[in-house]
Each structure stands twice: as C-alpha cells, then as structure tokens.
Structure 1
C-alpha cells in the first residue's frame, strides 16, 4: 500500500502503512485539495466509506445532529476514523445499517483499526460510563462564559487600541484575540454553534480548520496525511526525512519569529483563494474577520485604525505560533511518520503516541482552553467539551495501565525545545513506541 517512489523521495522511511496521498507534494496546499486527494485514494465511490462498507448519507445531511457541514465536506471519502472519534454513544452505530449500500472493492488507505478489544473501543466504553450524567452534546456553561468573556474583552481592547494606540494595548489585544480563536477551536469540533466562529476573528477560516485540523490532523496525527504537518513545508519540515536542507534544519532558530508573525496573513490568503476558487463563493462566516477592523475604523481615522489593526494581527499571529506549534506534537521522542510504529495499529494507541501533555497547562481550565491543553484526551475525544475532559482521566489511566502505556506529562520547556530538535531531526526512531 506504499507508493513505490517513497524510498526515492524520502529515504528509509516506513510511513506507518498509509497509502501515499494524492496531492501530498503539491506546492499550494488547501483543505479542499486535501479532500480532493482523499476522494481519489479512499475507494468510497462517491459515497461515505466506514470500514469496508459504503453508505449513502445524502438523505441524512439535513438531519445530522452535528450539522450538515461534516457530511457535505466528507462525501466521497473514507470517514472511518471521523465516525469512530466523533460518536461516543452507540446511537450512530445503530443507525448506520439503514444507509448501507454495498461493500467497498478496495482496501482502506489507512491501516488504523478499531477492534472491540482494542485500546480505543475499551477506552470509549469507559468514557460513556464516566460521562453518563453529562450532556456531552453541548458545551459546559463555564466554557461558554470564558469564550464569551474573551470575545467581549478582545473587542473592547481592539477599540481602545484604535482610540489610543500604544504597544501595551496592541499586545494585550493580540493575546486576547488569539485566546479567543483558540477557545473557538473547542466549539469547532462540536455541533454547529455561533461560538465556533470566534476562530474566524483571527483571519483563519473555521471551514478550512474543520478540514485541515479536525478531519486531517486529528485523525492522522503526525503522518503524511496530516495537513498540519505538510502545510508548513518547505518552511518547516517536521517529519524525519533525510533530504532536509541545512537552512530548514538549523536556521529555523533565526527565522521562526518572522514565520510566526505572518501565520494569520498566510491563512487569510489561503482563505480568500478557497472562497473564490474552491468553495464557489463566500459564506456569512467569511464576514466575521471584518468585525474588528470595522469597529476600529468607527472610533478612529481609518488609516490609523487599520495600521493598529495590522499590528494587532502580527502580535496575535506570533502568539498563536508559540501556543500552537509547540503545543503537543513536535519532539523527536514523539512518533512521526517514518518512525517505527507499534505493531498494534489501534487508533487510540496511534493517538497517544503522537501527543504529550504539558504539566503547567493542565493546572487550570482557563489555561487548557486557551493553550490547547488536555491534548491527549482531546485527541481521543475531540467532540467532548474541554471542561469535561478531566472526568475521563480515570478511564484513560485505567486503559493505559491495561495496555502498558505511559501517562507522563512534560514541562513546557521540553515541548518548546523539542520543536526545534524535531526540525533538525533526520533520523527516524528505530524503536517501537511505548509512550
């Protein structure tokens, strides 16, 4: 199932059994192009593939409890991992036979498994029991309060910065803007809600993020199918490939601050391109990024307000780069495609091998919500509100103990330096992961 040219391109790498994805090496990567590649690779025949069966969910789109976008985006692809990770209860599994069409004729392009006695299925069963008294389909009131508070404060700070520009106000505005966007990411994983559009305030696209972050990164973390890995190339090469240049290996220490400062601008360019050349036009959420600069222009001369706004975006973008790229996945001791993978290809084990939690961030719900905290549990249970994840910790520890998996957390500094060590790394790990 591995492309015969992989060895020629990347050297002695294994790619964990994934089919080499169509469009992997194109220069301009977008969520829509990633989905286009999956439609060619997944053998779904224009339907929705789960395991080795094909389903027609077209009549369910309007009734889908999570919102229609999840099904419209994934039509024609293999959604096995998404189906398993996004449905904690057994209701969806019971409804699925009603939409069965026929068996698939080609093997799955992903080697990940969901065996009844495997890590992930056992863990989910324990989670259902742990969350039996919680409405897992809605966000917690405390999460909503924090998100709305950050949104209001961000608007107020940006308006204040427009009226009386100072670097203190600009930096505060940028930090709160990114905090608001990151909290919006919590809602992006769940059923449609207006709070998921808090992410759009930052110029990033909630629609693009549902593809790039949720359907790609969350399900195929640190693999060649992970768009959050490949989209940074050639600026950052995060997989252990032998053809990394000396510039990307060693000079990233010098140019990374500049890259972080323009992340939001690069997302804005990609957003505009996708709106008009891939998605067929704008949606209402595409007006959300205009809210802050419009308010600033109403209280100050437009030229001055826009200059201040651009400074806020630079600060916010830098903060997002620091919070996001160093959050949980990049360190030579963490599994990356090309390293030796476990013999057990269980989805849950694949997730825990690619994530580490930061000790200091787990200290409070606010830090968890604004800094991509509780990252391991979030990858295992992406639709569960971050505020409820601590309820699942005993189930996680019990399952990890049963399967011999470490639950060690790392200090922030180790994850920070690990990012640069991974950029330098060209040697795949030869030892099977034990977390």
Structure 2
C-alpha cells in the first residue's frame, strides 16, 4: 500500500518566457510528461489573463489541482472563476456548460485525455472561446498516432490521389493527410522544466510531418535569452532580400515539384509551387527544358521573371540549389554558426569563461559574432598563436 501526496504551489513569473504566446488570442495546447510543470503554467496563465488583462477566465478544475479543494479558490488563479468537476467523466459536460451559461472569453482545462473531451474542445473553439489546455505526451508526433487525442491537432485521414497528383508529389497514390483544421493553433512541448519547444502553426506542422518533411520548433528556456533563435529568424528574413516578394513563388519546368517542396522545408526557406506562370517570381528548369520549352521561357523573360537552370535534376541537386539561393547575399564567412552557438550556450550554462584556439582571422570573426550576442570576448597572445576567451558576463 502506498500514498501519493501532491502539493500544488502558485509559482509566480514561471511563464514570462512564454508571455507573448499566452497573452495572445490563439488557442494553446501544452504537451508534456507528468511533473514538468504544465499545471503550474495553467495556474499562472489564469492569474495573468484574469487579473492583469481583465479577461473573463473560467478554470475547469477536474482534480482540484489548479484552484485547490476549498470552497474558496486559491488566490494563485487571480480573478478567474473555477468550475469543479463532480467526477472525472463529467469534464466535457462542465466544459460545455461553462460556454453556454457563463460567457467566458478564455477557458482553461487541465489534462485532456478522452475523445469526448477532445470533441468538447472543438465545440468550444468553434464558438469563438479561446482555449488553453494540457495533455500528456512527449511530442507532437505522439498526438498524431493517438486516436483518442489526434482530433486536437486536426486528425488524420487516408486519401487516394490521382495518378497525375501522385506523380507530381512523387508519392504513393494513398497518402495520409490532415482531416480538418486543428482545434489548437499553437502547441508547446515542455521537454523538461523550463525548456519549451514551440510550434507556432499547428496546421502547417502537421502537414509537414504527414508528408515526411522535417519540422523546426522554436526553443525557449526559462531565464535565458532567446537570442539564438531570434538571430536565426533575422537571417532567414534577409536571405531572399533580392526577391520582390518575401515568399518565393516557383514555377517548375522539368523538375519534380516534390523535390522543390521537400528542399524548401528541409532548408527552411519560405516558398511554394505555383501552376500559373504569371504568379511566379522565379522559374526553375533543367537543361532539357531549357532547349524544349523555349516559347515558355521567352514568355517568362518578357514578364521579367528570373530563370534558373539546375545542373542536377535530383533531390540532392535541388537542395543544393535552394541552399545556394537562401545564402545569396549573405557575407561569406568560414565561421560555423552552429559551433559558435554551442560555445555561447556552454559559457552561459556553466558560467565560466571558455578559451578556444584557431586561425587569428577566424577567431576575430567568431569574436565579432559572439559580441553581437552581448557577451564579452578577449583575443590574447601573438600571431599565429592567438587564443579567444569568451566570458559569461554581459556587456
């Protein structure tokens, strides 16, 4: 015989790193294994949304972990109203009652675990009430294969493609696709206490996963700056600065469209395939099409649409081309960005200086890049035996 004693605590300020997301108007699902702080985040979200922003917030408290078991809710949930659930299987009924009778702007739910509760979430979202909820799981892939909860992110259905469409995509005729719009717009994986992987667009993420494309969540850590991710975002925004439009609209001639789509996803360049040449701002073709499709290419030239020829008509060749396109206009450097990021993370995490050796010119480039993050660096020694010291303190 054992006894489990769970003590809920109101930990203020725990969601500062996620404040921009929690205070937005998007439906939010928190995903994580037991004990990583999901309920603590919900409690703090209820307090801030109800007290600081003045929202009408209702907490569906099934196990009394958010607002406590007393007649008066714990002050940790601020001005939010609490609706207790008499027994576990009645949670979806209380959720619907909250919408129909209490006019909430935000409903907060802890532990969605049954198909009926997932269906109630969709009903609430379709009525225009914002949802913030939690579910057990370690990743978004878990939800995709969970028949009970997959409706939270749109569900999965099997689709039979035409021969033409299957050939265009480079896939089998029967594929898996998202069944409906997801209930939750944004999903946050709580990988461990204070470490969050954020999928800002759940629909786009699910579509990418079902088509076998890699997905890249934004990583945030409590108490640390998100400077790494922000710098990456800024670099991606400037990578196609020579394009008239921020999004590449590619018309493919003789190139498998699925190669281009997979390359765009894996290299994280914003773009899509268009079927109408007038909508394109870039034409990609192979050498054979350059000779056989002269009339189309002349028409594109008259429209002043740039035409690029790919040397190797393969997935690898298309990826190399897209990578070159993304890096166009960036200053050439021998510095490995990922290596520099790892060095900075190590210095910040351990709190001790780190010393590295290398070519003096390369060390100077690394020092310039590290100082953009706000850390202090120092070059010591004489050429050609110089060293770079990175200090954990900020400028």
TM-score calculated relative to the size of structure 2: 0.21
TM-score calculated relative to the size of structure 1: 0.19
* Larger relative contact order (Cα-Cα within 8 Å, sequence gap ≥ 6): 1
Larger radius of gyration: 2
Write 1 or 2 for the structure with the bigger share of strand. Answer: 2
